[in-house]
A and B are shown apart, each in its own frame.
Chain A
Amino acid sequence: MLQEATVNYGAFAAIGAGLSAIGGGIGIGRIGGSAMEAMARQPEMQGKMQGSAIVLIAFIEAIALFGVVVSLLGVLG
């Protein structure tokens, strides 16, 4: 069953995973860029900014991972 499903839907699932990776990449890149810029402007706030940047990245990553999990389900189910 798995074999058959991989042949049929594997490529589409891979495309889906790739698209969600693009979305996550854009989001994380923007957060990282802005956090870097902000830290350069106010180096004394570095610790606080790092913390909130990591949390925001986690939120965006979760959305991207939803996409990956759904693609995985597409392959397995």
Chain B
Amino acid sequence: MCIFAPNFRQGIFNQNKGMQINTFKTFLASLFLFVTIYGCASKDQETSLEEREFNGSEMILHHVGDSHSFHVAGEFSLPLPVILWTDNGLVAFMSSEFHHDTDGKVVVERRGQKFVNLHDKIYQLEDGATSVEFNAEHHPENAFRPVDLSITKNVFSMFLSMVLLMLFFMAAARSYKKSTDNIPSGIGRFLEPIIVFIRDEVAIPNIGSEKYHKYMPFLLTLFFFIWINNLIGLVPFFPFSSNLSGNITFTMTLAIFTFVIMMFSSKKYYWKHMLWMPGLPIPMRIFLAPIELIGMFVKPIALMIRLFANITAGHIIVLSLVSLIFILETIWIAPLSVLFSLFISIIEILVVAIQAYIFTLLSALYFGQVLEQEH
């Protein structure tokens, strides 16, 4: 990446064809190197974990799931706080007390209550129990889950994205304040076209030029929040790399926001068309009402599943391609799998932006539907 930057600048300024091809080659080469390093890094991680047979699906599911500690590099991972609401009040301790145990073997005692970490979920042991007992289906028998308010990897990543967004937009706002002719500088120059795009291509055509103003803050927040979290998921090293927008609770929360705003801004016209469709025979109206009602709930569910499945699928594909090397146990498959994961990663950069755009666009479309009035 460092080699690529000066060449890129030259290529832009010279407008020289040969130079541009060179730039493109350097760009591809540096990307290839970058992804190769990524592949090597995951290999180290895999072999150092435990000396056992490599299990691809287990590794992938562990990677796309949430976790109570954040793996940094090699043997080192960042412990994150575990915060639980139990019968005896709030309990908080660092996840390092489990010593990387996720099989429920290490028991942590706080306020006379015992906790174990079972597959990155915290369980509380029942009174008198000293260790977890499993039934035939490998479910814990003498433990239950307390209210878990922990700062997990995903929550950490959400805070990070909030801080990043805050920094970007504060910088943009400052640059507007400083400029005399209302033209931003720095990051504001990058953000303004996107904001204008959301306004002119998403909000105004779908909601209408009179009412769009009220919904702009939500739509912009939605777009930038989803986009930055998707991008954070694509970066493979420490403070990033969590699969936040591929977590169904995250997408569900956003979809519920959209649904609640839809419900609160709905007009009489919308409900009339929903429950008692005008201009139809009575039996047809009775037949259509439940279908329309189901459709109303399917909209946010589809929003939720679309984002979740797209992002998770992207992560799973890249990880599967990398783990092909370890499944087939040969180094000769490495160039192929690295090339393919490079290809998928580049496509994913496009896909994450499109997914953020689609979530915003569909939210705007639904707001427009419920706001419709008689013509």
What residues of chain A have their CB less than 8 Å away from a CB belonging to chain B?
1-2, 6, 51, 54-55, 58, 61-62, 65-66, 68-69, 75-76
B137 with A62: CB separation less than 8 A: no
Q: 17 A-B pairs, CB-CB below 8 angstroms? A: A1-B137, A1-B138, A6-B57, A51-B201, A54-B357, A54-B358, A55-B361, A55-B362, A62-B302, A62-B305, A65-B305, A65-B310, A65-B313, A68-B313, A69-B308, A69-B309, A76-B61
Nearest CB of chain B from residue A8's CB, rounded to whole Å: 13
A51: chain B residues at CB < 8 Å are 201
Nearest CB of chain B from residue A56's CB, rounded to whole Å: 11
B357: chain A residues at CB < 8 Å are 54
In the complex, residue of chain B having the shortest beta-carbon distance to the beta carbon of A59: B302
Known: A55-B358, A58-B362, A68-B313. A2 touches B57 (CB 8 A): yes
A54: chain B residues at CB < 8 Å are 354, 357-358
A61 with B306: CB separation less than 8 A: yes
Nearest CB of chain B from residue A35's CB, rounded to whole Å: 15
Question: Per-residue CB proximity of B356-367 to A under 8 Å, as 1/0?
Answer: 011001100000
B308: chain A residues at CB < 8 Å are 69
In the complex, residue of chain B having the shortest beta-carbon distance to the beta carbon of A68: B309
Nearest CB of chain B from residue A48's CB, rounded to whole Å: 10
Query: Is B127 an interface residue when CB atoms closer than 8 A count as contact?
Result: no
Give CA–CA (A58, B354) in the complex, Å: 9
Contact of A58 among B61, B138, B313, B358 (CB under 8 A): B358
Give CA–CA (A65, B252) in the complex, Å: 16
3 nearest A-B residue pairs (beta carbon): A65-B309, A58-B358, A62-B306
Give CA–CA (A76, B308) in the complex, Å: 16
Nearest CB of chain B from residue A41's CB, rounded to whole Å: 23
Contact of B305 among A1, A55, A69 (CB under 8 A): A69
Query: Is B58 an interface residue when CB atoms closer than 8 A count as contact?
Result: yes
User: Size range of the interface on B?
Assistant: 10 to 19
DSSP class of A's interface residues: helix, strand, loop or mixed? helix
B305 with A2: CB separation less than 8 A: no
Question: Per-residue CB proximity of B296-308 to A under 8 Å, as 1/0?
Answer: 0000001001101
A68: chain B residues at CB < 8 Å are 309, 313
Give CA–CA (A58, B357) in the complex, Å: 10
B358: chain A residues at CB < 8 Å are 54-55, 58
In the complex, residue of chain A having the shortest beta-carbon distance to the beta carbon of B55: A3
Give CA–CA (A54, B357) in the complex, Å: 10
A6: chain B residues at CB < 8 Å are 57
A2 with B309: CB separation less than 8 A: no
Give CA–CA (A1, B103) in the complex, Å: 13
Give CA–CA (A55, B358) in the complex, Å: 7
Give CA–CA (A61, B309) in the complex, Å: 10
Contact of A65 among B137, B138, B306 (CB under 8 A): B306
A76: chain B residues at CB < 8 Å are 61
Nearest CB of chain A from residue B127's CB, rounded to whole Å: 27
Nearest CB of chain A from residue B186's CB, rounded to whole Å: 29
Question: Per-residue CB proximity of B331-375 to A under 8 Å, as 1/0?
Answer: 000000000000000000000001001100110000000000000
Nearest CB of chain B from residue A57's CB, rounded to whole Å: 9
B137: chain A residues at CB < 8 Å are 1
Nearest CB of chain B from residue A14's CB, rounded to whole Å: 11
Nearest CB of chain B from residue A15's CB, rounded to whole Å: 17
B302: chain A residues at CB < 8 Å are 62
Q: Which of A2, A6, A55, A62 has the most CB of B within 10 A?
A: A62
B138: chain A residues at CB < 8 Å are 1
In the complex, residue of chain B having the shortest beta-carbon distance to the beta carbon of A55: B361
A2: chain B residues at CB < 8 Å are 57-58, 61
A66: chain B residues at CB < 8 Å are 305, 309
Nearest CB of chain B from residue A23's CB, rounded to whole Å: 14
